[in-house]
Amino acid sequence: MGTDANTQALNHPPARLTGAEIVWATLVGEGVTDVFGYPGGAILPVYDALRKFPIHHTLVRHEQGAAHMADGYSRASGKVGVAIATSGPGATNLVTGIATAMLDSIPIVCITGNVSSKVLGSDAFQEVDITGITLPVTKHNFLISRAEDIAPAIRYAFQIAKSARPGPVLVDITKDAQQATAIFDFEAAKPRPHRIHPMRKVEESGLAHAAELIKNAKRPVILAGHGIIESGAMEQVRTLAERAQIPVALTLLGLGAFPASHALNLGMMGMHGESWVNHAIQDADLLIACGMRFDDRVTGSVATYATKAKKIHIEVDPAEVNKIIKVDVPLIGDLREVLEALLPRISSRDGAAWLKTIDGFKGDSAVRDIKNLPDLGHLYAAHVIHDIWRITGGNAIIVTDVGQHQMWEAQYYHHEQPRTLITSGGLGTMGFSLPAAIGAKFACPEKEVWVIVGDGGFQMTAGELATIAQEGIKINIAVINNGYLGMVRQWQEFFYERNYESTPMVSPDFVKLADAHGIAGLTVRTRGEVAEAVNTARSAPGAFLLNFKVEKEDSVYPMVSAGSALHEMIRRPGGNDPLEES
Amino acid sequence: MLHTFVAYVEDLPGVLTRVASLFRRLNINIHSLTVGRSEQAGLSRMTVVCEASAEAGHRIQASLYKLENVVEVDDIAQAPSVTRELALIKVAATPRTRSQVFELVEVFRARIVDLAPESLTIEMTGVESKIEGLIQVLNEGEGRILEICRSGKLTMRRGHHTSGVLKAMSVGADESAEVPAEDGAAVEQE
């Protein structure tokens, strides 16, 4: 809330409006300025009423894009993103985007039209049971068939989406409810206060125990997750780390929650985490998990995970505690609040010896790092991402897709600030990046936005290039084009005897494809061209696509194969040719 | 182990699906589920019995609480409680064979609630094992069992335990109030 238009809308006395008008009036009241959607029969009354309200609607090319845009909007800004679709296929097309937001705890509200209440359940044209379909992938959903229920449902949906552990909420509104009228009273539609989960529990004894463990730990590591960003606990985590000199390992979604350049930042943990990070976790005698959920991509084999370590788990969702990893001290509550209660009990500590040990774990990692190899005429994704980081000064919002390039981004783009990396972690949704970047750009129009995407994922939602063109927004797109579904190919190489079944991919000329949308582009084939191309894209007035033709069979290293212990890593072969087996 | 969850839920369409779906997603088979009105207007009381690991109880309870329509959840587990089940059993019995069934009904303190020329219906309330016992002896007798209808378990903690529903509902009125949770359920043990 806050803009003049919003305040104005709220100051209006209760008035009789159509259900369709109530939808927009409620969104305006909730502070919404941008929505992403696609019209259709069952949502037409809502679209018809749009012109009366100060909300910008972005027409997407596929409803999956609308959900991802709402998601990207939310991840970039911290606000609730909104997607709109019609009934039936419009609604089902949202589902992948909704599940993506669910798995990563992103607050979005999706509004769908449905057939009139009289024919609900009759297999009417474009009717689908979308509240049934989305039940397991939403925090909650509503089926609304009366105009007077619309405002309370949408306001409640916003509250649910934002509260505790955030997530997506869907409001399905029948066409007759959109057409009927009701008294709109924004204040009266306010939901009752959010109920705090009764199993949240932060006890004095728990805080004291945690402080004691931290005080006595010889080899502590902070595990920093997405919850830090959602809770806004960046300062508190930093204070804890600095005061007690505890190194910080980050999850993929935690990147940016602790500055990459900070002396205590170890980097990303898990399947494609750097070797010293995983070794530090495996050798630790204390893990302080902050807003993370011990995902299988982070733990490797659970049986062998950090067996020497006591574990403190600070987490807002009681259902996540002791789900994967048994912890010694659960502190179940909002991360920022818990840390604020804990910090007065933490005094300064000398962590030098442990930090030196971790430094020793680095060994020859730098020598093996592909970006430090001499230029032998090959173009590696690492070069591209390293240059984008260097040239943007680490200040851009990077939106990645899913696969090898996503992991290389996590390794080579160093995020200093929260909300500068937008990526689908939990669901791993290919096709996420282009629409999510559009949402991010609407949330932060003044920020530089880059899409880093593989040739596979790009083609899943490339239709949204037309959305970029129609909206005239400036997004830079770096396609990491290796002619394969790279991550699947890598698994085939490591675990399926190089049987590259269905992973080689013939793609259109992406520069021509961009050109057909009125978007300029360039193909880059050598390392020497990268920096200039990145600069060209940045200085171009409109959206720009860079087609990086990278090494076809490069792999992401190190790698902990699924089910292995976290310290059992497949490392990049040594020698000058990174593709040559050593 | 066998878990028994008692949940107070809002009496609205779709709430049963939300609760049932949570168990379905965890691939847990529900042994029995009873739903009916409670002492609170607008709230239904559910008793869900399922087989799951001992550790699963915490997660199921925590997950149930994440459902917007769930007001209170109690994991009865091994706590002292009164448990009853109601069964209606229709048995084929002619005037010649009835007396044997009457005797069994007497022994089990059940009741005959319907008598027809070719059959009779027994009403039996008790713990699960007692109902199983009656079914077993009926099966061993002359009269064939035609139908069994069982309510599933109804459970209530013993002693001056109150459901805590009022407390749970009033929490919404004061956001700052932390709920004093004894392992999840705000309960008074006897």
pLDDT band at A487, cuts 50/70/90?
very high
User: B17 and chain A: CB distance < 8 Å anywhere?
Assistant: yes
Q: Is the same domain home to B46 and B89?
A: no
Q: Is the same domain home to B55 and B111?
A: no
Q: What domain count does chain B have?
A: 2
Cα–Cα dist A563/B4, whole Å: 34
Mean pLDDT lowest for which of A150-159, A372-381, A529-538?
A372-381
User: A131 and chain B: CB distance < 8 Å anywhere?
Assistant: yes
Chain A: nearest CA to B14, how far in angstroms?
9
Q: Is the same domain home to B30 and B91?
A: no
pLDDT of residue A6: 52
Residue B40 structural domain:
2-79
- Structure tokens belonging to residue B132: 């199983």
Phi and psi at A87, nearest 5°, equal -75, 180
Can you give the C-alpha Rg of chain B in angstroms? 20
pLDDT band at B166, cuts 50/70/90?
low
User: A196 and chain B: CB distance < 8 Å anywhere?
Assistant: yes
pLDDT band at A576, cuts 50/70/90?
low
Q: Is the same domain home to B75 and B6?
A: yes
Cα–Cα dist A564/B3, whole Å: 33
pLDDT band at A370, cuts 50/70/90?
confident
Does some domain include residue B189?
no
User: A135 and chain B: CB distance < 8 Å anywhere?
Assistant: yes
Q: Is the same domain home to B6 and B75?
A: yes
Continuous segment of H or E residues that includes residue A439:
helix A433-443
User: Residue B110 belongs to a domain with what CATH number?
Assistant: 3.30.70.1150
Q: Answer whether the bond into residue A558 is a cis peptide, omega within 30°.
A: yes
Q: Per residue in A255-304, pLDDT tens?
A: 999 999 999 999 999 999 999 999 999 999 999 999 999 999 999 999 99
Phi and psi at A562, nearest 5°, equal -55, 130
User: B26 and chain A: CB distance < 8 Å anywhere?
Assistant: no
What is the chain A residue with the closest CA to B21?
A136
Q: Per residue in B102-135, pLDDT tens?
A: 999 999 999 999 999 999 999 999 999 999 999 9
Cα–Cα dist A406/A480, whole Å: 10
Q: Where are the domains of chain A?
A: 4-184, 204-361, 369-549
Residue A410: HSE in the Cβ half-sphere, 13 Å Cα cutoff: 29
Is the confidence at residue A40, as pLDDT, over 80? Answer: yes
Q: Are A135 and B58 inside 8 Å of each other by CB?
A: no
Q: Are A140 and B21 inside 8 Å of each other by CB?
A: no
Strand A81-85 to A108-114 pairing: parallel
Q: Are B172 and A322 inside 8 Å of each other by CB?
A: no
Q: Are A319 and B17 inside 8 Å of each other by CB?
A: no
What is the chain B residue with the closest CA to A318?
B62
User: B61 and chain A: CB distance < 8 Å anywhere?
Assistant: yes
pLDDT of residue A168: 98
Average pLDDT, chain B: 87
Collapsing DSSP to helix, strand or coil, B88 comes out as strand
Chain B: nearest CA to A190, how far in angstroms?
13
Does some domain include residue B64?
yes
> Which amino acid makes up residue A532?
E
- Cβ-contact B118, B94 below 8 angstroms: yes
Q: Are A195 and B17 inside 8 Å of each other by CB?
A: no
Contacts of A25 (CB under 8 A, 6+ apart): A9, A17, A53, A151, A184, A186
Collapsing DSSP to helix, strand or coil, B97 comes out as coil
Catalytic annotation present for A63: yes
Q: Is the same domain home to B97 and B75?
A: no
Continuous segment of H or E residues that includes residue A459:
helix A455-460
Q: Are B184 and A139 inside 8 Å of each other by CB?
A: no
Is the confidence at residue A539, as pLDDT, over 80? Answer: yes
Continuous segment of H or E residues that includes residue A34:
strand A34-37
- Structure tokens belonging to residue B8: 């107070």
Q: What does the CA dihedral A116, A120, A122, A128 come to, rounded to 10 degrees?
A: 100
User: A200 and chain B: CB distance < 8 Å anywhere?
Assistant: yes
Is the confidence at residue A514, as pLDDT, over 50? Answer: yes
Q: Per residue in B167-181, pLDDT tens?
A: 666 544 444 434 444
Average pLDDT, chain A: 95
- Nearest Cα residue to A308 out of A211, A245, A220, A240: A220
pLDDT band at A582, cuts 50/70/90?
very low
- From chain A, pick out residues whose CB is under 8 angstroms from the CB of B59: 319, 322-323
Task: Write down the ipTM of this complex.
Answer: 0.91
- Residue of B13, B18, B65 with shortest CB distance to A198: B65
Q: Is the same domain home to B46 and B104?
A: no
pLDDT of residue B170: 57
Phi and psi at A311, nearest 5°, equal -130, 130
Q: What residues does A286 pair with on adjacent strands?
A: A220, A310
pLDDT of residue B181: 40
Cα–Cα dist A226/A297, whole Å: 14
When pLDDT is averaged across residues A367-391 and rounded to a whole number, the result is 87
Q: What residues does B70 pair with on adjacent strands?
A: B9
- From chain B, pick out residues whose CB is under 8 angstroms from the CB of A199: 61-62, 65, 181, 184
What are the C-alpha distances in Å from A253 to residues A100, A249, A283, A400, A482?
13, 12, 23, 12, 25
DSSP A69-87: HHHHHHHHHSSPEEEEE-S
Catalytic annotation present for A175: yes
| CATH architecture of the domain covering A369-549 | 3-Layer(aba) Sandwich (3.40)
When pLDDT is averaged across residues A336-346 and rounded to a whole number, the result is 98
Q: Is the same domain home to B60 and B110?
A: no
* Local structure of residue A581 (DSSP, 8 states): -
Size of chain B, expressed as the number of residues it contains? 190
User: B149 and chain A: CB distance < 8 Å anywhere?
Assistant: no
> Which amino acid makes up residue B81?
S
- Residue A34 CA to chain centroid, in angstroms? 19
User: A157 and chain B: CB distance < 8 Å anywhere?
Assistant: no
Cα–Cα dist A134/A46, whole Å: 22
When pLDDT is averaged across residues A114-125 and rounded to a whole number, the result is 96
Q: Is the same domain home to B20 and B72?
A: yes
CATH fold of the domain at A204-361: Rossmann fold (3.40.50)
Chain A: nearest CA to B189, how far in angstroms?
18
User: Residue B67 belongs to a domain with what CATH number?
Assistant: 3.30.70.260
Q: Are B184 and A131 inside 8 Å of each other by CB?
A: no
- Structure tokens belonging to residue A411: 């390794």
Q: Is the same domain home to B57 and B117?
A: no
- From chain B, pick out residues whose CB is under 8 angstroms from the CB of A196: 171, 175, 177-179
pLDDT band at A366, cuts 50/70/90?
confident
Q: Is the same domain home to B110 and B60?
A: no
DSSP A275-342: HHHHHHHHH-SEEEEES----HHHHSSSTTTTTT-EEEEEES-GGGTTSSS--SEEEES-HHHHHHHH
- Cβ-contact A67, A201 below 8 angstroms: no
Q: Is the same domain home to B86 and B145?
A: yes
User: A193 and chain B: CB distance < 8 Å anywhere?
Assistant: yes
Does some domain include residue B37?
yes
Catalytic residue chosen out of the listed positions A487, A490, A559, A569: A487
Q: Are A196 and B65 inside 8 Å of each other by CB?
A: no
CATH fold of the domain at A4-184: Rossmann fold (3.40.50)
Q: Are A135 and B68 inside 8 Å of each other by CB?
A: no
Domain boundary among B62, B79, B96: B79
Mutate to test the interface with A, among B8, B178, B182, B187 (most CBs of A within 10 A): B178
